Structure 1
Amino acid sequence: MQTFIGTKIIKAEPRDKNYGPPEHHGEPGYTVVYPDGYTSWSPKAAFEEAYRPSDGLPFGLAVEALKKGRRVARAGWNGSGMFLFLVPGSTFKVNRAPLLGIYPEGTEINYHSHIDMKTAQDTVVPWLASQTDVLADDWQIVD
């Protein structure tokens, strides 16, 4: 069999099972609502093996959230309105400096996906992770 790994962003709340054979009523678990609105119930152990709260994430899961179009921030940034977001790749035609000094006008440029930061000063800057950022487990999804 092939091995799989999943990274879904879902909403959930604890809820004991209240359907199926009566001997299973009261079994601890979670009601899970998926992004498409589908709702299911998951046993507590299976749920807790697969999911964690969206605050206190490691950097890798923060990157997965960025790839899904979400904004992320370190815990210490939250009060200042700072967050990261993924800028998707695109193409554009050269029409102004400084690129006019490098390429002829009209040259089509591939603009690769990258991560930008919205700063506390309400500006946007390119962002690169430090080793501290990469090893931190305090990343959170910002709605």
Structure 2
Amino acid sequence: MEANNVVIKENLTFGEALIFLKKGEKLQRINWNGKGMFVYLVEGGNYKVQSRAIKKYADEHETVKYNPYMAIKNVDNTISTWVPSVNDCLAEDWQVVD
């Protein structure tokens, strides 16, 4: 955990953690090896087309509608989409960080 991340709530199940995720909080596993990693929910909405592959589906403003999805902030400060593993879903070491 980065020094500037303060733990708000800890030892949550994934189900409990999802409630906080839907409220816009950042989550991480206590036992993750990656320092500073956390997951968060990206709200759905209309976003400007960034890929030629999807351009033909854009509206008149060159945007497409995206559904909400989960993302992870990686150790190297990049962002990726994220899908929890079975271990993540069964874990009881989730925590909410500021």
TM (normalized to structure 1)? 0.55
How far 1:67 sits from its partner (Å)? 0.7
Q: Which residue of 2 aligns with 1:20?
A: none
How far 1:79 sits from its partner (Å)? 6.2
Q: Which residue of 2 aligns with 1:103?
A: 57
Choose from 16, 26, 32 the match for 1:61: 16
Structure 2: gaps (5+ residues): 1-7
Contact persistence 1:91–1:109 (CA under 8 A): yes
> Partners of 2:58 and 2:44 in 1: how far apart?
21
Read off the aligned partner of 1:64 and give its amino acid letter: I
Structure with bigger gyration radius: 1
Q: Whose RCO is larger (CA < 8 A, sep 6+)?
A: 2
> Partners of 1:88 and 1:104 in 2: how far apart?
19
Contact persistence 1:74–1:140 (CA under 8 A): yes
TM (normalized to structure 2)? 0.78
Contact persistence 2:40–2:70 (CA under 8 A): yes
> Partners of 1:104 and 1:65 in 2: how far apart?
32
Structure 1: gaps (5+ residues): 1-52
- The 5 Å alignment of 1:1-143 reads 54-77=9-32, 80-94=35-49, 96-100=51-55, 102-103=56-57, 106=60, 108-143=63-98
> Partners of 1:95 and 1:67 in 2: how far apart?
26
Q: Percent identity?
A: 38
> Partners of 1:120 and 1:83 in 2: how far apart?
9
Q: Which residue of 2 aligns with 1:42?
A: none
For 1:14-44, what per-residue CA distance to the aligned partner results, in whole angstroms no more than 9, with x for missing partners? Answer: xxxxxxxxxxxxxxxxxxxxxxxxxxxxxxx
Read off the aligned partner of 1:137 and give its amino acid letter: E
Task: Report how many residues are paired.
Answer: 90
